[in-house]
Amino acid sequence: MLVKDYGGEIDWNIGAFCGHDEMMFDIDKACKMACEKNGIRYVFGSISTILQGGRIPPQKNLPVSEVLSRADKYNELGIGVRLTFSSPFVTRGDLVDETSNIMLRHLDHNNQNGLKNRNGVIVMSDLLADYIRYMYPNLELISSQVKPSVEVGLGNDSAEYYNRLLDRFDIVVVNPFKIHDEQFIKNLHNHDRVEFIVNHRCLPNCPMAGRHYQLNTKLGQAIVNGDDITELQNQLATVYNYCGSTRNSNPLLGTSMNEDEIKMLVSQGFKHFKIEGRENNIISFVRDLGDYVFNHEMFERVIHAIAGMML
């Protein structure tokens, strides 16, 4: 088998859109050549818009026409696309942003054609969530990890907090360090609508997570606007210095999951798992796919097949 068996169904969500698309298309082609399913259900990412949040998109300046073309290709392969519109700073004026609405409208329209793995939007702002529900009702709404990081702070995010989000969103991304809290897992509702990041290499319950997400979003918007980014870079350097010094003092800290932890979650009804990596280089990106989604020996054959197709 090419895809790893964790004891139940898994809907993998991969940080590839507008970042590693050609590799994803090649992986799908190589899997079909091997008469195997590729196991990936969703990809997430975006180009830079006023609504984009979190990491700065690696291909932030792609033409919108190219973004839509890539989304169509994913949809033709049966893979849903999720836009990372997780800015914490959304205003009413931002809702009418032309570029953002072109992408939202297109993905919403594609969903009307009966996609099994529906297109969606990863959001933090309730204002934006309400707007998308009203204007683009066919899109799935996913609550970003940015939301608990900014609203309550990781470590203060209770099961009750996430259960309230589950009343509002179709899928809710939960702090991955929570898998070590048995009572939290027991009290969490709707396991089949919860998503965990498996390769989140940040510190457990990092107290700087909310600020990091906010600064990244501001930096991305400043770059798009052509503003001076010196002060934002200095503030981000403070965050990185904190993370670096803490990690040097505690090198084994992290929130990446191992196979047994994923199997434990699958046995309890969780099926949505997310792999970060849209800003990673191609080597790190492929490594994580090989570590989590695919069996190593078979995936090595897929990579060799991809290399052969590129010659």
User: Do residues 140 and 119 make contact, with C-beta atoms less than 8 angstroms apart?
Assistant: yes
User: What pLDDT, on a 0 to 100 scale, did the predictor assign at position 277?
Assistant: 82
Is 305 a residue whose pLDDT tops 70?
Answer: no
* 49-77 pLDDT tens trace: 999 987 777 777 899 999 999 999 999 99
For residues 73-90, give the mean pLDDT.
96
Query: What is the pTM assigned to this prediction?
Result: 0.92
User: Do residues 171 and 193 make contact, with C-beta atoms less than 8 angstroms apart?
Assistant: yes
Range scoring the smallest mean pLDDT among 104-108, 180-184, 186-190, 222-226: 222-226
CA trace torsion 137, 138, 143, 146 (10° rounding)? -90
Residue type, 214: Q
* 122-142 pLDDT tens trace: 999 999 999 999 999 999 999
* 254-281 pLDDT tens trace: 678 999 999 999 999 999 999 998 778 8
